[in-house]
Structure 1
Amino acid sequence: MRGVVVIYLLLAICQCNVGVTSQECSESQPCPFVGENSFNFSLSGPMSDLVSSDGFLEVDLTVAVNPVVIEWLTLFRRTYNGGFPGPVWRFKPGDTVMVNLINTLEYPDSSNSFNELRFPNTTNLHTHGLHISSEEPQDDVFIHVNPEEAFTYEYQIDSQHPAGTYWYHPHLHGSTLFHVHGGMAGMIIVEDNPNPSITPQHLLDVSCPDNCHHEVRLLFQPTLLYADNYFPSFPFIENRMNVNDSFQ
């Protein structure tokens, strides 16, 4: 597939205590993060694939607070299906994609003024790159899926939709950064058309659905800021990442 490489990177900025061993590392006594092989690193293991069949893909995305372990540091983050990042959606041009967004977060839900950080437990869904309608039940960013509610999105993918790699994440005004930096994001892959008259053979030889072993999938996502003095506003957000109910 042309350009199907997206990079997943955990950006960890930490306060480091020189001379502290890994056995002594803790949130009160932080150490440098060791890191892992850049091509295998994922907080929840390999990214799981949800693949369309007979022109249809149904996705269940459950939003909940789950523990995320980064070496010696355990955080609690809002995630999709308990994983980090969320599952990969893989489908073809012309398919129908239904996404059941299930919000298990609870009230209270902070409702500050319009342009302030708010609604930590309300969510919705937005895709980047898909040529679909911006009206409900497709990619409408004004939908609010409140705590303990659910909503089903239905995306009609055009038969001429370009193949490529895209992504999805929440887009609720007031909590988008809070949710995305927490881990609520995932990859979308629209596969090449397997017809050689449409997709050149040299691309079919190195792309899905028949030659997926050539694929390296990585997803860039800054997610952790650990230094109180790095950005003045970010500790405000980071200190509230672990709160299950509200910003208060």
Structure 2
Amino acid sequence: MLCWLRFTVLVYISCFPWNNVSGCNNTAPCKFKGGELLEHLDQLSVNSTHPGNINVSLIEIKLEWFTTNRRVFNGKLAAPTIRFTETDGLHIRLTNNLPGNPVSPTNYSINRVMLDISGLRLHPDTFERDSLQDLINPGESTSISRNIFNRNSGTYLYGTYTNGSSHFMISSGLCGMAVVEDSSSNIHEILFNISCPDHCGDEIQLLFGSTMQYSQSGGDFGSLQSTVGDEDNRNLEILTGTNQTLEDWLRDDNNGVNYVTVNGQIQPTLTLQTGQMKRFRLASCCATQALNLTFDRSHCDVREVASDGSYHSNPREPATLLLPGSTFDWIVVCNTPGTFQVGKLLFT
């Protein structure tokens, strides 16, 4: 049975002032406000001459007043977008900077990593010694070089998933967007003229993640940490004047900490110019939940041109259900000034 959870993730099209959360911290928490301007994802273009570096590390991140430790790619909660062409293929140097695996009775290997790009058709004749999905121990690195089949241009996801701990790894932040660049010969001129590499200013990437789902009715990240043995990084700070921990507060449904982040942010804002055509790449790094996408059609015209790395023969009405590990490509034109929202209602 499908159950709607009690929260909404919003991407507002307009600009709002940043909300003040001064005085709040890990021992005196308060409600999250959201409203920051949307940050663009880092772009990592790779080829055979200049392979890209992907580093996996355990770092302290901060969201508004909240600080916590997370396993991430290249030092940010929002992973970089890996970009490459069909001609050059994928060329990555993967380095594991995580500490040694914690001793856990469940024997999860949460600090061994690998790299997987979902849905991408790799050419089997080019497999070298190191597999794309080989596990890399802490302190080790490996070079990954793969050719791909033709007509693979599109939007994909990459991540690291190990030994039954995929839910934990994805929710921590080890998931990102991968783009096989279009060529002018295989897509329509209109789409090519609003896409990278020549028109990156017209391309908007939205990476959805289950990285702030703490409440018991949601992802319950604190329980995931306990299950896999990530005890040293749980938020067990004692709240001022109480016997309650911060994790207790985060897990309390009354506090509403059940956010899907967008580019590593809570309810960010975005400004679009009236009449300007944009290409949206949407990708779900949610671990287990689907997102129901809504768009105010009285303000904007939206057409879906691709899903899961495959282009449609013609633009069509956009699908509204973005499943875990799935991607959409939209063309969006907003012709009416105003403030509205792209709502994401989460359910399982």
> Shorter-normalised TM-score: what interval?
0.7 to 0.9
Provide the residue aligned with 1:80 in structure 2.
73
Distance (whole Å) between structure 1 residues aligned to residue 231 and residue 145 of structure 2:
32
Residue aligning to 2:190 = 202
2:96 matches 1:103: yes
Contact 1:93 1:193 in 2 (8 A): no
Shift of 1:48: 1.6
* Secondary structure, aligned partner of 2:22: helix
Q: Specify the code of the residue in structure 1 equivalent to 2:176.
A: G
Contact 1:84 1:183 in 2 (8 A): yes
1:230 is aligned with what amino acid? S
Aligned partners of 1:50, 1:233: CA distance in 2, in Å? 31
CA shift, 1:138, in A, is: 6.9
Cα 1:173–1:120 shift into 2, 3 Å: same
Matching residue of 1:51: 45
Distance change in 2, residues 1:221/1:242 (3 Å): farther
Shift of 1:108: 4.1
Spell out the pairing of 1:1-248 with structure 2 (5 A cutoff). 22-37=21-36, 40-42=37-39, 46-52=40-46, 56-110=49-103, 112-113=105-106, 118-132=108-122, 140-141=132-133, 143-158=134-149, 160-195=150-185, 198-227=186-215, 229-230=216-217, 234-238=221-225, 243=232
Give the C-alpha shift of residue 224 in structure 1.
Answer: 1.8
TM-superposed CA distance for 1:57, in Å, is 4.9
Q: State whether residues 126 and 139 of structure 1, in contact with CA within 8 Å, keep that contact through their aligned partners in structure 2.
A: no
> Counterparts of 2:46 and 2:55 in 1: how far apart (Å)?
19
Q: CA deviation at 1:221?
A: 0.6
Structure with bigger RCO (C-alpha 8 Å, 6+ apart)? 1
* Cα distance in 1 between the residues matched to 2:154 and 2:41: 17
Structure 1 residue 137 displacement after superposition: 5.1
Return the offset for 1:164.
1.1
Tell me the amino acid that sits aligned with residue 95 of structure 1: D
Superposed CA offset, 1:149-170 (max 9, x none): 1122212122x23321111100
- For 2:80, the aligned partner's letter is P
Q: CA offsets per residue over residues 174-223 of structure 1, 9 Å max, x none?
A: 3222221111122111111123xx33222222222222221111101110
Between the aligned partners of 1:26 and 1:226, the Cα distance in structure 2 is 17
Deviation at 1:110? 3.7
- Quote the offset at 1:29 in angstroms: 3.0
CA offset at residue 133 of structure 1? Answer: 5.1
Counterpart residue identity of residue 235, structure 1: G
Residue identity opposite 1:237 in structure 2: L
Amino acid at match of 1:236: S
* Residue of structure 2 in register with 1:17 after alignment: none
TM-score for both structures, normalised by structure 1:
0.73
Structure 2 gaps, min length 5:
1-7, 11-19, 234-348
Q: Deviations over 1:84-137 (max 9, x none)?
A: 222211121121322111112222444655xxx711211111111211157665
Question: In structure 2, do the counterparts of structure 1 residues 213 and 234 end up closer, same or farther at CA, with 3 Å as the change threshold?
Answer: closer
- 2:219 and 2:76 mapped to 1: Cα distance? 29
Could you tell me the TM-score, scaled by structure 2's length?
Answer: 0.54
Task: Name the aligned partner's letter for residue 81 of structure 1.
Answer: N
Task: Name the structure where strand makes up a greater proportion of residues.
Answer: 2
Q: Secondary structure at the match of 2:121?
A: coil
- Give unmatched runs, 5+ long, in structure 1: 1-8, 12-20
The whole-number CA distance in structure 2 between the counterparts of 1:233 and 1:34 is: 20
Confirm or deny: 8 A CA contact 2:61 2:70 kept in the other structure: yes
Compared with structure 1, are the counterparts of its residues 172 and 79 closer, same or farther at alpha carbon in structure 2 (3 Å cutoff)?
A: same
Instruction: Give me the whole-angstrom Cα distance separating, in 2, the residues matched to 1:184 and 1:133.
Output: 25
> Structure 2 vs 1, CA of residues 234 and 226 (structure 1 numbering), >3 Å: closer, same or farther?
closer
Q: Which amino acid aligns with 1:176?
A: S
Q: CA RMSD in A?
A: 3.0
- Secondary structure of the residue aligned to 1:130 is coil
CA distance 1:151–1:111, change in 2 (3 Å): farther
Contact 2:168 2:221 in 1 (8 A): no
